[in-house]
Amino acid sequence: MVQLCQQQRPIQNSEVYVLRQVPPFPPLSPPSPITPAEDFDDSPVDSRGLTQPDIAVCGKKLAVEERIARAVHVLATETAALQNLTQLYSSDSIVRDGFTRAVDAITSRHASRSNKDGGRCGGGKLVVIGVGKSGHIAKKLVATFNSLAIHAIFLHPTEALHGDLGQITPHDTLLLITFSGKTPELLALLPHLDPSLPLILLTSHTRPETCEIIVRHRQHSDTAILLPAPIHEAETASFGVSAPTTSTTVALAVGDALAIVAARELHPSVADVFARNHPGGAIGAALWANAKKRGQEEEETPNLRAVMVSLEDIPILSPTTAASPTAVTGLGVLRAGYSSPSGWVWLPGPNSTEKASHRTGGVVSPRTIRGLSVEAMAQPVTAIPRSAFIPVTADTSVSRAAEWIRGMRTATAGSDSGESDGTERSTETNEGFGSMGTSMSMTSGSDFSSASSSGSVGYHQGLYDDEAIMAIMEKGECVGLLEIGTLLGMEA
């Protein structure tokens, strides 16, 4: 047994056994660098910020957007109203006729004498009447008309019934402002207004038969003039409230249009008139600076005083030459014009004794004399009456007067000069030059049609054609005459 165990023990010897080598594990890669991040914040994250917006900030932004959206809606609505108004005045014949008649009513009755310093010496004025928001519009328009040298006053209808009716004179023009056309205060005042005065009604109605004030007024007079200022949709539909918004905007716009157009027809230079009447503030400073600059540029430009034909150089055809104005034939005028130093001839008025300083009747200009035909030599000649003269101040430059005449030709192109507008025009046929003003009031073409139809020859053309006559005024007196054709020829 012992021998068997000894046989099983390990054998000890000096040999070295080489075991198979196992390759080691590769070394671990170095850690990748952390990618840098902007404004990296390793503070704890509030979980509420990931699920709920900042209600306070967003609510404020939404409130601002809603506020601006509402404002834009108001502006867009009022812009649409003005666009609708522009289209109406561009296309509707009744509306256009109403505006034309309104301008005629103001300019023809504004027979004021405005001196070169911007003063006034009497004449018809514009009386603007309104109550409530329309009253505020009326006051603004009065300020605009006065700044443009068109005399205007505001009259409250209630105060008018308590004594202020005395402010209205027989030469005035009335302008009533009412959106509804049936304001109770104006209806109460209506029976107490002189029915012979032109009455302009600034209202939302576009047809006179729908306006209660005009319907009532026409029961006693035909002097009412419709001046529409409608809106394209009711203010309640636009804004949810009937507060005057678009209605006052369009009324103000039409009133401004009336003031600017009337002023351009009354004054050769509206800018100069406004500068004289608005010397204060930034507007006044800018206007005076521009006027001074224009004055420097026009120093070398002659004024009308330098180019006019003086009244002293226009001989009066004496009664010994012709028994009556109707007996003055083309041949007689031709002879008188040949001997006249200026080529002009003055024909006396009927039953009048003409004086050089106080003339009635009318004048025959060189252009008219040159246009007389052989047949006209035996026919009576019609002179251009004083009432048709276009008064302009003597210190107006030739270039400015010519520019104004061209503008008036454009403004009156295509109009029917013989069409009656229900207003009375100032004729002044029995007054001398001593009382003639510098307003642009003049007679219509119908004043000459009777003479033309009776077989006489002479002036019977438009108000601003080449044969029309400008009366050159100085301190309210006419000092000379000038043909429009001659004036425009100086600019050619």
The string of pLDDT tens digits covering residues 365-422 is 888 888 888 888 888 888 888 878 888 888 888 888 888 888 888 877 655 444 444 3
296 domain residue, yes or no: no
Residue 256 or 59, more confident: 256
Q: Which domain holds residue 162?
A: 65-266
CA–CA separation, 488 vs 271, rounded Å? 21
Residues 351, 206 within the same domain: no
Which 3 state secondary structure label does DSSP give 246? helix
Measured CA angle at 337 (ends 335, 342), to 5 deg: 150
Residues 240, 154 within the same domain: yes
We report the CATH number of the domain holding residue 152 as 3.40.50.10490
Q: Are 201 and 214 in contact (CB under 8 A)?
A: yes
Residues 186, 318 within the same domain: no
Question: What are 453-469's pLDDT values in tens digits?
Answer: 333 444 434 578 888 88
Q: What is the DSSP string of 390-427?
A: EEEETTSBHHHHHHHHHHHHHHTTT--TT---S-PPP-
Residues 187, 322 within the same domain: no
Residues 312, 254 within the same domain: no
Q: Give the helix ranges, DSSP H, for 234-324.
A: 235-239, 246-266, 270-277, 281-297, 304-307
Whole-number pLDDT of residue 244: 94
Residues 255, 335 within the same domain: no
59 domain residue, yes or no: no
Angular region, 394: left φ>0, alpha ψ -120 to 50, beta rest: alpha
Whole-number pLDDT of residue 424: 39
Q: In the predicted model, what is the mean pLDDT of the chain? A: 76
Strands lying side by side in the sheet with 345-347: 345-347, 362-364, 384-385
Q: How many CB atoms lie within 10 A of CB 61?
A: 10
Whole-number pLDDT of residue 128: 97
386 domain residue, yes or no: yes
Whole-number pLDDT of residue 266: 84
51 domain residue, yes or no: no
Q: Give the helix ranges, DSSP H, for 13-54.
A: none
Whole-number pLDDT of residue 37: 53
Nearest of 260, 268, 271, 266 to residue 99 by alpha carbon: 260
CA–CA separation, 271 vs 206, rounded Å? 32
Residues 243, 331 within the same domain: no
345 domain residue, yes or no: yes
Nearest of 463, 462, 482 to residue 392 by alpha carbon: 482
Tally DSSP H helices, then E strands, for the chain.
Answer: 17, 14
Whole-number pLDDT of residue 492: 57
Confidence of residue 54 (pLDDT cuts 50, 70, 90): low
pLDDT > 90 fraction of the chain, expressed in percent and rounded: 34
Composition of the chain by helix, strand, coil, percent to 5: 45, 15, 40
Highest mean pLDDT among 5-19, 57-71, 450-464: 57-71
449 domain residue, yes or no: yes
pLDDT at 334 exceeding the cut of 50: yes
Residue 240 or 290, more confident: 240
User: Letter for the amino acid at 459?
Assistant: Y
Nearest of 8, 110, 73, 155 to residue 440 by alpha carbon: 110
User: Letter for the amino acid at 137?
Assistant: I
- Among the residue ranges 185-189, 190-194, 291-295, 464-468, the one predicted with the least confidence is 291-295
Whole-number pLDDT of residue 241: 92
pLDDT at 74 exceeding the cut of 50: yes
- CA distances, 440 to each of 142, 166, 309, 385, 425 (Å): 20, 27, 20, 15, 11
Confidence of residue 258 (pLDDT cuts 50, 70, 90): very high
- CA distances, 41 to each of 36, 38, 53 (Å): 11, 9, 20
pLDDT at 265 exceeding the cut of 60: yes
Residue the block writes with tokens 């006034």: 120
Boundary of a domain, candidates 266, 288, 317:
266
Average pLDDT in the 141-168 region? 93
Whole-number pLDDT of residue 38: 52
pLDDT at 114 exceeding the cut of 60: no
Residues 248, 386 within the same domain: no
Question: What are 267-316's pLDDT values in tens digits?
Answer: 877 777 777 765 655 555 565 566 565 555 555 568 888 889 888 888 88
Strands 457-458 and 381-382, by their bridges, are: parallel
Average pLDDT in the 142-151 region? 91
Q: Residues 6 or more apart from 221 whose CB is under 8 A from it?
A: 195, 196, 199
pLDDT at 445 exceeding the cut of 70: no
CA–CA separation, 138 vs 163, rounded Å? 20
Residue 84 or 312, more confident: 84
Whole-number pLDDT of residue 453: 33
pLDDT at 116 exceeding the cut of 80: no
Whole-number pLDDT of residue 422: 39
Whole-number pLDDT of residue 94: 94
Residues 379, 472 within the same domain: yes
Q: Are 317 and 328 in contact (CB under 8 A)?
A: yes
43 domain residue, yes or no: no
Residues 253, 380 within the same domain: no
Element (H, E) at 83: helix 55-91
- Among the residue ranges 90-94, 203-207, 260-264, 291-295, the one predicted with the least confidence is 291-295
Highest mean pLDDT among 169-173, 199-203, 392-396, 406-410: 199-203
Residues 245, 310 within the same domain: no
Average pLDDT in the 23-47 region? 58
The count of domains in the chain is 2
Confidence of residue 25 (pLDDT cuts 50, 70, 90): low
255 domain residue, yes or no: yes
Residues 144, 243 within the same domain: yes
Q: Are 169 and 125 in contact (CB under 8 A)?
A: yes
Residue 12 or 338, more confident: 338
User: Letter for the amino acid at 346?
Assistant: W
Whole-number pLDDT of residue 4: 56
